[in-house]
Amino acid sequence: MNKRYKGYITAETMLHHGGNIKTGSQSMLRRIKFYANGKFVEIPYISGNAMRGRLRRLGMFDLLQRLNYTIENLRLHHVLFSGGTLTTVSTKDSGTIDFDLRRKVQEYLPMISLFGTAMGNQIMAGQLVVGNMIPVCKELGTGQYSVNEFLDWTYQTRKDDLHLEREEDEQAQQMLYEFEVFVPGTIFEHSFTLLQPNKVILSAFGHLMSLLENSPFVGAMAAVGMGRIKFDYPELPNSDIYLEFIEQKKAEITEVLKEIEKKV
């Protein structure tokens, strides 16, 4: 049975997740078109992929720390942290799926089961579906105020410090770039869906949310004071089953990671 967690995310600082629309040195928020209240409207939002990527990095880094495991293969890093890459295999193996390795990954690496990955010539779909963060607003009939009230512009500066490209007496150039943001206090509707999860997977998701609570950032430029959030989802699972599983299966998990390193 699928499990869905629906809740709200509140921006505690400015939030930005850039889209494809840029005008000179300005970067606008991503937008999605809705049909609501009898008309089409474009609503800025934070992509579910931003949240998913954040959770993936938190979960995989935490796993490696608990195992005291050091990655020595760049492709394993891609498998864990960025969804992997499909690689060319020999003609005789092109249609072959390594079911034994696939079974081991699904059995011993709940984080990969949650997020999915690509290994060699095979793709493993993830069980975690992350929704977009959609602002509560008047246009969608979910709030009192227009979405435009929750938008603002801010800026950063960047200095050219490449001395080799300047004359001896030439001053460093300072570049100003602006970007659109959601203001602090913006509330977003959001949801997570887990597809046919078992108890370990549910607990692994609960652990992810506790990691996010301890490092509550999403979107761009957290290093300069942006992207901090708080969230409210009712009845999230706890981490106990997952953490106990990792502690009991350390040796098996480590061996699976080593096997992946040899084959990717």
Taking the C-alpha atoms of residue 249 and residue 263, their distance in angstroms, rounded to an integer, is: 21
Question: Per-residue DSSP letters for 65-101?
Answer: HHHT-----HHHHHHHHS-B------GGGTT---HHH
As beta bridge partners, residue 26 has 23, 178
Which residues are CB-contacts of 129 (< 8 A; sequence separation ≥ 6)? Answer: 192, 193, 194, 195
* Strand intervals (E) in 97-210: 117-119, 122-124, 128-130, 134-135, 151-159, 174-182, 187-194
- Among 221, 203, 236, which residue's Cα sits nearest to residue 27? 221
Q: What is the pLDDT of residue 210?
A: 97
**DSSP for residue 127:** S
For the chain, 264 residues long, the average pLDDT of each consecutive 10-residue run is: 96 85 73 94 95 96 96 90 71 62 93 91 90 97 97 78 54 71 97 97 98 94 88 95 98 94 81
Taking the C-alpha atoms of residue 94 and residue 175, their distance in angstroms, rounded to an integer, is: 50
Q: What is the pLDDT of residue 112?
A: 96
Q: What is the pLDDT of residue 89?
A: 54
Q: What is the pLDDT of residue 177?
A: 74
Taking the C-alpha atoms of residue 43 and residue 45, their distance in angstroms, rounded to an integer, is: 6
Residue carrying the six token digits 């500066």: 157
Which residues are CB-contacts of 1 (< 8 A; sequence separation ≥ 6)? Answer: 196
Q: What is the pLDDT of residue 264?
A: 74
3-state DSSP call for residue 211?
A: helix
Q: What Rg value do the Cα atoms of the chain yield, rounded?
A: 22
Q: What is the pLDDT of residue 34?
A: 97
Taking the C-alpha atoms of residue 264 and residue 83, their distance in angstroms, rounded to an integer, is: 13
Q: What is the pLDDT of residue 87?
A: 66
